[in-house]
Structure 1
Amino acid sequence: MLDILFVMIFGLSGRVLAKDTDTKGRFSSPVLDVTEKQLIIERNQTLQLNCRGRWELQWVLPSGVPKVYNGTQIEESSCGRKNNQYCSRLTLSPALAQHTGSYRCRYRQKQRKQASVYVYITDSQRPFVKVQSGTPDVVFMKKGEPLIFPCRVTNPNAKVSLVKEFPLTPLTPDYQTIIWNSRHGFTVRSPTFFYIGFFSCETIVNGVKYTNKFVTHRTVNNIMDVYLNTTGLVQTLQGHMLALNCTVTAEWNSRVSISWTYPGKANGSATITRRISRSKTNMLFFSILTIPRLSKSDRGLYKCHVTSGPSKRETNTTVIVYDQPFIRLKRRDGPVVQASAGQKSFRLTPKLKAFPAPEIIWLKDGMVAAERCSRYHVDGFSLVIRDVAEEDAGIYTILAGIQQYGLFQNLTITLVVNVKPEIGEKTVSSRQPGTVQRGSRQALRCTTYGVPPPHIQWLWHPCPQKGLS
């Protein structure tokens, strides 16, 4: 009796274990009703594929099948013994040559889990999947990557050759350097400069020659220079126009992408125009950002970002937007400043902030300073005095004006030129008496000059006694 009970329990647990394993293992990926890796059907036939899985399914079709195509039909249903599985049937009718490609069934939420089959839809009048309009397709050569001529065919048994057109050179696949694959085309593993030019894939069907033409383009990613039309801070007024030109210098065959970040980007306040020009040695790419009427919200940092393949560069500038024009003029060191006679140069520099840049005139004692003396010249808004002399002392006035807006301000500074004190006489007396009579009265004169007036102090040094020299 115990043996029978043990067998019943063991059998029951074995079935439960088998069920759990089955639930985890079966349909971990969707399953198609075809076991082959590829199917071959003829043009205008009906393609029907069935897919089953544990979760909701979706189909990924070749790029040649339009998203809206009346011949595509997908039917969803529940299936399995307990209707706990998902089934999907894809019907494509009529199937056309351009529909050749990989058909994939995958889970909607777990898209890496999928099943696929490659379907060739043969058409004797269309051996290549893509029919060209006459313009060659561009294929890009990238450093360190294989070169692919994507001349896919509708029949896996098609005989296709690769030909370089100038000079005319047939290229034979050796499956080491050049590889032919009916699903991808020709692959050149390590392309050299020989593969720059015009190429064609050719096949002959029923005596008719069909071609797919290509031109190779060698991409270059070297960005030589990036610069803006302004090198410093941009100051402007509200309501005025802003135009920033980002210029990129790159090598021939470069493909450059230019983008901007700026304060008003989210509002779409700017328009961006692009232009390309060529020189004998390089390419010039221009991106011009224009804001017709600036507002205060447009002030801030403007960045020009440039990418060419893995290469990246950027440059930037800061834009300040003022409400209205202004002049602010202040003294830097008080109303009186001092210099010393003999200095090589002296600079009078008040604190000035203004926009737009004002016109500056310096006066000395009411007359234009630069006209009074050749040693005076204006540098920016400073007055520079070279080889300072005593006569440079006086009252200096800076006049700052923005005439178009009727704004004017002036500021007066007094300059004192200090002169080193000097004694006029080479000796303290005009005569040199050897001896004078005791009790007599003598006069000693000391004449001095300096700015400020020097202080005179007399000192007496008694003569040494005889015999003590």
Structure 2
Amino acid sequence: MKLGEAILDSHSVCEDGAGNLNRAAGACSVPTEPLTKPPRSLQAPQSRPSRQHTMKLWVVLCLALLWVQLQNGACQTPKRRKDVEENRIGPGGKRGKIKRPKDGVGKGQFLLTQVLDKGRFLRLSQTTTLTPGKNMELRCKGNSIGWSYPTYLDTFNDSRLSIKQSDKYSQLVLTSPSAADTGPYSCWVIVCDGIECERDHDRTYVSYIYFTDKDNLFVPSAIHFEIVYLRPDRPAVVPCPVTDPHAKVSLHREVPPEEITANGTQLTYDPTKGFVLQNPSPEHQGVFYCKAVTKGTPQISTKYQLLYVEVPSGAPFVSLAVSPESVRGGDNVNATCSVLGEPEEDVSFTWTYPGQSRRPVHIQTSWRLVNRGMGHTTRLSQSVMTVEDMETIDFGNYVCNAKNQYGETTVTIGIISK
């Protein structure tokens, strides 16, 4: 028997027919047969319970009810969800609050939206298809926002593009967009610590926007014949992106005429980039073009010259020579600094020479593509320094420094009087 039941059974209380309280075991039981009320004269005198006795009964009842509630957990007060979320116990028993991202935008949430007619907004997905000619307005939430967009708009310093920053969002407006404006549009939050600012990669959003034009299935390019360099250590891209993601695109060789089938492994197609060659080889050289088809007449892209590159990436390989080899006072001398490297790799030259602060010299820089045989193509970059009417101050060491995106190389050659 439980404690609560024992307390209630030992203090059973009920009223009798006269409205009096009885306190005896079984006093509240219901008789099975009707009882005959004895004459008043035979009834024993009844005494009302005292006030103190009644108070004790109420105390016992309250204690019993309290015990039952404690057993059921009714007295436990649930903690507010907000308190549970905001307060966390950290290392060392310290309590702290969760830091929420500024501007109410966290990782995985949408930052980039398009403004539609009548103040309606559309959250952009990873790819978006729009109609050319209709002004485009994009917004990115935050009080310090950075933008990126197709380089085509920067190359020509296009006045159709404008960006404005307000207290709550940044606005990008492109008026009269065309098929040439197809490409990735991205925005991100800029986080600053004093004077140092950086891009918040967790709060970045990008959407590739197609401005679909049935008359321009390929994204227009100012280059009508483009060179694509093939390297054995990296994939190569034949850049023929389209303005309609549903267009069917194929790759074709010009001579001999044939279609190169995309197999999904060695050759794949990405509508935002073009055809990707995973493992280029000399056999992939030649003139190629892309063909796109939707519902109308097939369209042809720009032509691409694919060249295989022999020289691997790295710091410049420099050679330095002087002519004539035998020099005397009054002679004219050419010092030639040469670099053999990748076809599209720019090289910059700097010179250090005797008499540098006393007399002028003539320096000419140039480059050209060289066919090394077996289909291998490299770029020859040269800087030629000409010193006319050599004097005593001109004899000594001539130093050439060549630099590319991977590093720099310095070579020295001495010129002495014969």
Q: TM-score, with normalisation over the residues of structure 2?
A: 0.60
Matches within 5 A, 1:191-202: 191-202=280-291
Match of 1:97 in 2: 179
Distance 1:23 1:147, change over 3 A: closer
Instruction: State the SS of the aligned residue for 2:233.
Output: coil
Measured in 2, the distance between the counterparts of 1:18 and 1:48 equals 41
User: How many Å separate the matches in 1 of 2:342 and 2:77?
Assistant: 85
The residue aligned with 2:188 is 106
1:254 Cα deviation from its structure 2 partner: 9.9
Q: Which runs of 5+ in 1 are unaligned?
A: 80-86, 321-355, 358-469
Q: How many pairs align? A: 307
Q: What does 1:226-245 correspond to in 2, within 5 Å?
A: 226-229=319-322, 242-245=333-336
SS of equivalent to 1:98: helix
Query: Is the CA contact 2:217–2:299 (under 8 Å) kept in the aligned structure 1?
Result: no
Q: Deviations over 1:43-67 (max 9, x none)?
A: 11222211013x5112111112246
Aligned with 1:203 (options 267, 276, 292): 292
Match of 2:398 in 1: 302
Deviation of the 1:277 alpha carbon: 9.4
> Counterpart of 2:412?
316
Q: 1:203 to 1:6 in 2, by over 3 A?
A: closer
CA pair 77-189 structure 1, distance change in 2 beyond 3 A: same
State how far apart, in whole Å, the 1-side matches of 2:393 and 2:78 are: 83
CA offset digits 1:256-280 (Å, max 9, x no partner):
8473431477999443224769799
Q: Distance in 2 between matches of 1:303 and 1:102?
A: 45
Q: Which among 2, 6, 21 is matched to residue 99 of structure 2?
A: 21
Matches within 5 A, 1:359-438: none
Quote the offset at 1:243 in angstroms: 2.9
Amino acid at match of 1:218: Y
Identify the structure with the greater strand proportion. 1
Alignment of 1:20-39 (within 5 A): 20-23=98-101, 26-27=104-105, 31-33=111-113, 34-39=123-128
C-alpha contact (below 8 Å) 1:162/1:199 kept by paired residues: yes
- CA–CA separation in structure 1 for the residues paired with 2:144 and 2:310: 45
Offset at residue 112 of structure 1 (A) = 5.1
Q: 1:267 to 1:176 in 2, by over 3 A?
A: farther
Distance of 2:307 and 2:276 partners within structure 1 = 15
Identity across the alignment (%): 19
Measure, in 1, the Cα distance between the counterparts of 2:86 and 2:336: 76
Offset at residue 209 of structure 1 (A): 2.8
What RMSD over aligned residues (CA atoms) do the two structures have, in Å?
A: 4.5
* Residue in structure 2 matched with residue 454 of structure 1 by the alignment: none
| Runs (5+) with no aligned partner, structure 2 | 1-74, 89-94, 114-122, 191-196
What SS does structure 1 have at the residue aligned with 2:166?
strand
> Are residues 1:57 and 2:145 paired?
yes
Tell me, what secondary structure is at the counterpart of 1:22?
A: coil
Distance in 2 of aligned mates of 1:117 and 1:266: 55
* Equivalent position amino acid for 1:95 in 2: P
Contact kept? 1:161, 1:201, Cα under 8 Å: yes
1:178 to 258, 264, 267: 267
Check 1:95–1:242 CA distance in 2 against 1; reply closer, same or farther (3 A cut): same
Aligned to 1:194, the other structure's residue is in SS state: helix
Residues 6, 189 of structure 1: alpha-carbon distance in 2 compared, 3 angstrom cutoff: closer
Aligned with residue 41 of structure 1, among 127, 130, 136: 130
